[in-house]
A and B are shown apart, each in its own frame.
Chain A
Amino acid sequence: QKEVEQNSGPLSVPEGAIASLNCTYSDRGSQSFFWYRQYSGKSPELIMFIYSNGDKEDGRFTAQLNKASQYVSLLIRDSQPSDSATYLCAGGMNRDDKIIFGKGTRLHILP
C-alpha cells in the first residue's frame, strides 16, 4: 500500500529559527510531491510542489526531494508565529489522478 509518513509533532521552533519538516514515501513510482499548510479549522492550501531531485526555493520556503532515499522535506526560514499550522506532505504518480497525503506535522512557532 502506498504510504506517506510524517512525524505528527508537535514540532516547536523559536521565532526566527529554521523549521525543518520531513516526509518519507513508500512508492518509488511517486514523482510529484506537494506541501500543504492547514490552519486549525481551515482547509489545506498549497505551499509548494516539487518534481525534480534537489532543492526548490520560494521566498522563505525550500522544498527538498531525494528520490533515492524516498525523502521529501520542507524548510521554513525566519519562522514566524503565523507559520504555526499543520503541514501536510503528499505524493503522486505521473498520469495518476490521485495523490496520497501524510497525516501531517503540527508546527508551533514560539514567540
Chain B
Amino acid sequence: NAGVTQTPKFQVLKTGQSMTLQCAQDMNHNSMYWYRQDPGMGLRLIYYSASEGTTDKGEVPNGYNVSRLNKREFSLRLESAAPSQTSVYFCASSHHQQVMADTQYFGPGTRLTVL
C-alpha cells in the first residue's frame, strides 16, 4: 500500500496563476483533509470531506476550492494564487466509521511558493 500520495512535491507559481494539488489514498478511508502548515502556525485545516460527495470548510478556506472526485481522490485548487498561499500543503485521510475521532494519516506534502 502506498498510503496517501500527493502530487506535485514542489511547485513555484507566479501571483495570479492557478493550479490543482492532487491527493489519493489507497486505504479505503472515508474522510480526507487538506491542511496548510506555516512556521509558527501549526497545521490549519483548509477543507475536508467526511465522505464521497461531501465537502466542508475548515479554518482557512478562503482562496481555495476542493473536489472529492471519488472515494480515493481529493484535490485542492488555487484559482488565483497569492504570496500568502506560500506554504506546505498536507493531505490526510482517516477511516472514521468509529465512535471515536480517528487517526489521520498524512501524505508527504507539497511545498508551494508563490512569487
Contacts and interface: CB of A to CB of B under 8 A. Distances in A.
A96 B58 CA distance: 13
Q: Which of A31, A51, A98 has the most CB of B within 10 A?
A: A98
Interface of B: 31, 33, 40-43, 45, 48, 50, 56, 58, 90, 94, 96, 99-109
Given A46-B105, A97-B31, A98-B58, A104 B42 contact: yes
Interface of A: 8, 31-32, 34, 42-46, 49, 51, 88, 91-99, 101-104
A37 to B, nearest CB: 11
Contacts of A92: 100-102
Nearest to A32: B101
A34 B109 CA distance: 20
Nearest to B56: A97
Contacts of B108: 42-43
A95 B99 CA distance: 5
B42 A44 contact: no
List the 10 closest A-B pairs by CB distance, nearest first.
Answer: A92-B101, A103-B42, A32-B101, A43-B106, A101-B43, A97-B50, A32-B100, A97-B31, A44-B106, A43-B109
Nearest to B107: A43
Contacts of A95: 99, 101
B101 A99 contact: yes
Contacts of B43: 44, 88, 101
Contact of B90 (A8, A43, A46): A43
Nearest to A6: B42
A93 B56 CA distance: 17
